[in-house]
């Protein structure tokens, strides 16, 4: 791949991944019932609502999961993958493209949770303001994953629950998302 194609693929990745992050934050904030008065929650809501409002009329929430945002995040991943294949001059098979974009979305969700848990646990070791909007939003998003192990993996004064959850997420990435990515790539390329 030429240097120009590498640069274009990087810019495409960054642009599409930023949109997916906003949509996934919307899904996670609604599912975890994050504080709506948080300025970051309001930013995510105001940014995504114009696009999601018409879709939500057709595709309502299921329990507390925003299916419209999930569908849109998957479609953004699908479009990103289609454009990246177009940059390479390859026409992917439709089934492979669907599987590949679903696998990429799953991998992206797992990676986002890894980054959130790592950042949240790292900041909790320092004397930071617990009322900071970013820390409050991250704490409410990672809380459901950490809650089952909360207080059970404490050694001394260190809680190893975030580390255990991060290891579990890494294993899911390696054992579930990576094989699905490989399968999707094989189906898309027809090999």
Distance CA 190, CA 128 (A): 51
Q: What is the predicted pLDDT for the residue at 150?
A: 82
Q: What is the predicted pLDDT for the residue at 45?
A: 94
Distance CA 183, CA 178 (A): 9
User: What integer is the mean pLDDT of 141-158?
Assistant: 88
Please give the share of the chain, as a percent, with pLDDT higher than 90: 75
3-class DSSP assignment, residue 127: coil
Residue 125, pLDDT > 90, answer no
Structural domains in the chain (count): 1
Q: How many CB atoms lie within 10 A of CB 43?
A: 14
Range of the domain at 13: 3-189
Sort strands 154-155 and 158-159 into parallel, antiparallel or unpaired: antiparallel
User: What integer is the mean pLDDT of 47-64?
Assistant: 93
Model confidence, pTM: 0.91
3-class DSSP assignment, residue 72: helix
Residue 34, pLDDT > 80, answer yes
Residue 1, pLDDT > 80, answer no
């Amino acid at each position: 791949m030429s240097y120009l194609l590498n640069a274009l693929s990087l810019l495409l990745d960054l642009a599409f991944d930023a949109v997916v992050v906003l949509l996934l934050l919307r899904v996670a904030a609604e599912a975890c019932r994050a504080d709506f008065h948080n300025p970051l929650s309001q930013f995510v809501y105001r940014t995504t609502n114009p696009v999601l409002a018409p879709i939500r009329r057709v595709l309502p929430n299921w329990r507390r999961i925003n299916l419209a945002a999930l569908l849109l995040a998957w479609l953004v991943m699908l479009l990103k993958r289609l454009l990246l294949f177009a940059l390479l001059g390859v026409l992917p098979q439709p089934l492979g493209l669907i599987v590949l974009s679903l696998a990429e979305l799953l991998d992206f969700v797992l990676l986002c949770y890894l980054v959130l848990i790592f950042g949240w646990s790292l900041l909790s070791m320092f004397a930071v303001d617990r009322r900071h909007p970013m820390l409050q939003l991250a704490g409410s998003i990672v809380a459901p994953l950490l809650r089952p192990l909360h207080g059970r993996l404490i050694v001394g004064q260190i809680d190893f629950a975030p580390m255990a959850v991060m290891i579990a997420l890494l294993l899911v990435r390696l054992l579930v998302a990576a094989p699905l990515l490989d399968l999707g790539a094989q189906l898309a390329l027809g090999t």
